[in-house]
Amino acid sequence: MNRKAHWERIYKDKLPTEVSWYQTEPELSLALIGRTGVGPTAPVIDVGGGASVLVDRLLAAGFANLAVLDISGSAIEHARTRLGQLADRVEWYEADVTAFAPPHPFQLWHDRAVFHFLTDKEDRKRYVGTLKEALVPDGHVIIAAFAIGGPRKCSGLEIVQYDAARLCEELGGEFELLEAHDEMHITPGHAEQKFSFFRLMRKGR
Ligand SMILES: C[S@@+](CC[C@H](N)C(=O)[O-])C[C@H]1O[C@@H](n2cnc3c(N)ncnc32)[C@H](O)[C@@H]1O
C-alpha cells in the first residue's frame, strides 16, 4: 500500500482520539513554540499535523498565520470539522512533505512524529529540502520523533529513532540545536512511548 493510502485508511478506520499518537494537550509542543519567541503574526506550519489539536490551541493563543500540512485528506477533514468556521483562518495542504512546494516562507516549522517515518535516505533528503525551501533565515524548527530506546514502529510502519546527534546529522550544518527533551507519551491504550523533542534554529544567511 502506498504512503497516502496507508494514512487515509488509518484516519477512516479510527477516530482521532483513538490513534496511538493522540494527545489531549500538546503541552511540550506549545512550550517549545513559546520559547521560540515568535509572535502571533509569524507564519507557522504544522507538518504532518494530522488531526492534532495543536492548531486549535495556536488559534486560541492568537496565531493568525497558521498552516497545517498532511498527506491524509481525511485527517485534515477531521481537524477542519472540529474547528468549524475557525478552519477558514488556517491554510490546509493535503500533500506529502517530501514533495511539497511551500507557497510562501514560514518562520516556524513544527513536526511531531512525521520525519521519523522516513526510513529512506532519499526521502529524508527531500524532507530537508522542503524544510530549507520553506523556512526563513533565522527560522525555528521543532521536531519530535521516537527516541532511542523508544518504539520501533508506529501505525504499523518502521520508523527511525532519533537522538540529537542523529537529527543534527540529517538536517545538516545550517541548523543549530537549542534544546532537546524526552517525553513519555501515554497512548489511548495506556502504552508508553518515549519521544524526543528537538528545538533548532536556522543559522541566518
Ligand atoms: C503519527 S501521526 C502524528 C500527527 C500529529 N503530528 C500529532 O502529533 O498528533 C503522523 C502524521 O503524519 C502524516 N504523514 C505521514 N507521512 C507524511 C508525509 N510524507 N507527508 C505529510 N504527512 C505525512 C500522517 O497522515 C499523520 O497525520
Q: What is the pTM of this model?
A: 0.98
* Cell 506549545, located at residue: 30
Mean pLDDT of 100-113: 98
Q: Is 72 in the pocket of ligand 1 (CB under 6 A)?
A: yes
CATH number at residue 63: 3.40.50.150
Domain that holds residue 82: 3-202
What pLDDT is stored for residue 1 in this prediction? Answer: 59
The CA 51 to ligand 1 mean position distance, Å, reads 9
Q: What tens digit of pLDDT does each residue of 17-66 get?
A: 999 999 999 999 999 999 999 999 999 999 999 999 999 999 999 999 99
How much is the pLDDT for 30? 98
Q: Is ligand 1 within 6 A of the CB of residue 118? A: no
What does the mean pLDDT of the chain come to?
A: 96
Shortest-distance Cα residue to atom 26 of ligand 1: 50
CA atoms within 13 A on the CB side of 85: 0
Read out DSSP for the chain?
--HHHHHHHHHHHS-TTTSTT--S--HHHHHHHHHHT--TTS-EEEET-TT-THHHHHHHTT--SEEEEES-HHHHHHHHHHHGGGGGGEEEEES-GGG---SS-EEEEEEESSGGG--SHHHHHHHHHHHHHHEEEEEEEEEEEEBTTS-SEETTEE---B-HHHHHHHH-TTEEEEEEEEEEEE-TTS-EEEEEEEEEEEPP-
Residue 205 has pLDDT above 90, yes or no: no
Domains: count for the chain: 1
Query: Does residue 198 have a pLDDT over 90?
Result: yes
Locate 187 and state its grid cell.
Answer: 497512548
